[in-house]
Structure 1
């Protein structure tokens, strides 16, 4: 006999009580055979205007298609500005409100910016790649950037040609990958500013690069329509190749489900934006392909591994699409999409430890519009929000602290990040009781 919900649900009809039990308790013994996501009805909520940064001016529209164009960390954001000199403005999230008129303090590079990224383990460090092949490392003062500066903490000649992308390693400190028009990917030890590994095998433009969650592998998707997986410390050639999107307008690639799957966002022959999911051990046969819409904007992804939720949006879009990536068919399950009141120029998600789990917030982002930066919260509706929703918040990987030094990683060591509970002190766990229908 199926269990029921006692007390407050006692007068609810039996069929409805079972539905409630399915929805809230996720009990496998009484689940509908059709899979229903716990995150299906996720809700996006913009923060109050008092938390916005306003009067942002002169946003650059000329950033390379391989660059996401906007990056945030828990303390500050980096925004490219238009005009000569390759400028990136740095805004402190603690200093909300209207920016004063006049010159916006910025990092001045002297050359066009190709890509930039925050160090995941240091909220004060920004890496920037320029079209002259130079990578600059900037140290942002504790109080923020108060005036324009062209003096980087360090810089080095990374490539003889323009750089497509730079990506920090997910678990090892001071490890950075850079891909260039010279068709190589170089992996750098920033502790010594030395080139350690050079990956080869590309014959055409690289659209996107992603480290696997464990940091052992990396993957790319390119204009030649191929997906490549590397094991960089073992071989400079791809260990696996497969066929990706056929369109040549651009693409993105990410890993999902503990690195067992790869998801690629691209275009088909008629410019429809598509999502393709592959088993990482078989890149020749997509498990599913979902068409989204016709748009020139490349879909930029963010993947929350705890909920297996994939968020997607493009520059100039007003909708943030959400899907759950699953290990079984159909592999790509649509969730509630969030529609914004106006267009955005970028979206950047923050680490899991900044989420307000007491309000069932499982993802938090910053949204860049034409003249504002706005926090955006993603929550899941629950009845008893005063209780810790342990089914929505499993122990999360500590991705904001490094597990290894660069020397350890280049010497072949691997170490998985620890997992911690996000339950706030003093917050009770959910408790349920059952009775048997008679």
Structure 2
């Protein structure tokens, strides 16, 4: 007589739930470009979505708080102008990825089969990997400290690349035998999780050890859908969420060091298919509700939040669900990383916020375009005659500032009058 033993896991009962209708973002024309991309990015403050536009390349950025502040004066600078323009690709860019630990280091990959790594703060290209991929690059992923890249390509090869040496340190041909696009992400233990297709066009997932690419650690067939599976990996819980383009479901699996290594947990299903998906960083979640993941699902004309929750009876902070997680502070400067230094992400607590143990000055050797503050060092005071502004421009600015102060004063007077009227109405009601 056999007895089935249920595997113990605190994530066995994770369930997904769509947000209420008033929490969705309506009337958004999501891009119809055929590129297999998530079309969405999100952080704790903003939501960015690629939208349909003539010529392509358009996107919108929405505040998650859903509060718009419309200025009652003319902005000094047109907000549609970029702070900086990075030019280097000969064809359109389809992949962007920030370095996980170095400040202002951005990776881009385009239809020209080239990967360029930029220092956005100075506007310069740090590295160009232009002789590694013979065909279109499907996906690029950094490892946890940003020392290695995992890439997949139309030539069906999975590559592990040391970008600073422009060297392929390991590769596996036909990790998935099908011709459809493959995706790859690094796991917490340094393994590679992949999604792809079999020779019979069945969707498939795999787990690989870069030190031994001959045989997979795990390989599982899924279904026969044509949509590319986009993996979103959470290193804190070691859960990977699979969102298929055109699917109406999100499957999620827990990756462990026990066979079969990739354990199916559950599926969130909805009625409408997804055009793309955004994944909220851990520091943007509501820990009071035991929320361990949040997605922003793109429909044809709207964006809908999907919340993943672990049911718990206690209202206390759940330490086992929320270990210290990577925060927004960089661990390295771009020049430090380029010179060969590596550092793990600076972690923060989700319980009480992150307080640095000591003040650490990051070495800045070049002016950071994104930093509004002037570079450190002695600075000579500038007289009016040294100013690049003409006297006419100074007078114009002074007039605009004066007019702005008058408008602000008028608004304050109006607020005071409204408060007085409100007090009179309240007293009359009493």
TM tier relative to shorter chain:
0.7 to 0.9
Provide the rounded CA distance (Å) in 1 between the counterparts of 2:41 and 2:33.
16
Equivalent of residue 421 in structure 1, options 346, 349, 370: 349
Query: Which structure features the higher share of helix residues?
Result: 2
Equivalent of residue 402 in structure 1, options 326, 330, 344: 330
Provide the rounded CA distance (Å) in 1 between the counterparts of 2:63 and 2:134.
41
How many residues are matched? Answer: 342
* SS of 1:336 mapped into structure 2: strand
Change (3 A) 1:389 1:242: same
Larger CA Rg, structure 1 vs 2: 2
Unaligned runs of 5+ in 2: 354-430
2:55 equivalent in structure 1: 85
Provide the rounded CA distance (Å) in 2 between the counterparts of 1:331 and 1:90.
38
Provide the rounded CA distance (Å) in 2 between the counterparts of 1:358 and 1:280.
38
Unaligned runs of 5+ in 1: 1-31, 98-140, 426-438
Q: Does 1:248 align with 2:248?
A: no
Q: Does 1:48 align with 2:20?
A: yes
Equivalent pair of 2:329/2:346 in contact (CA under 8 Å): no
2:122 equivalent in structure 1: 192
1:289 equivalent in structure 2: 219
Provide the rounded CA distance (Å) in 2 between the counterparts of 1:348 and 1:224.
27
1:69 equivalent in structure 2: 39
Change (3 A) 1:44 1:344: same
2:135 equivalent in structure 1: 204
* SS of 1:328 mapped into structure 2: coil
Change (3 A) 1:94 1:388: closer
TM-score, normalised on structure 1? Answer: 0.73
* SS of 2:85 mapped into structure 1: strand
Provide the rounded CA distance (Å) in 2 between the counterparts of 1:186 and 1:78.
22
Equivalent of residue 340 in structure 2, options 379, 403, 412: 412
Query: Which structure features the higher share of strand residues?
Result: 1
TM-score, normalised on structure 2? Answer: 0.74
How far residue 33 of structure 1 moved from its aligned partner, in angstroms, is 7.3
Change (3 A) 1:149 1:396: closer
Provide the rounded CA distance (Å) in 2 between the counterparts of 1:182 and 1:371.
31
1:350 equivalent in structure 2: 280
Provide the rounded CA distance (Å) in 2 between the counterparts of 1:410 and 1:368.
36
How far residue 303 of structure 1 moved from its aligned partner, in angstroms, is 0.6
Provide the rounded CA distance (Å) in 2 between the counterparts of 1:394 and 1:411.
31
Provide the rounded CA distance (Å) in 2 between the counterparts of 1:69 and 1:269.
28
2:304 equivalent in structure 1: 374
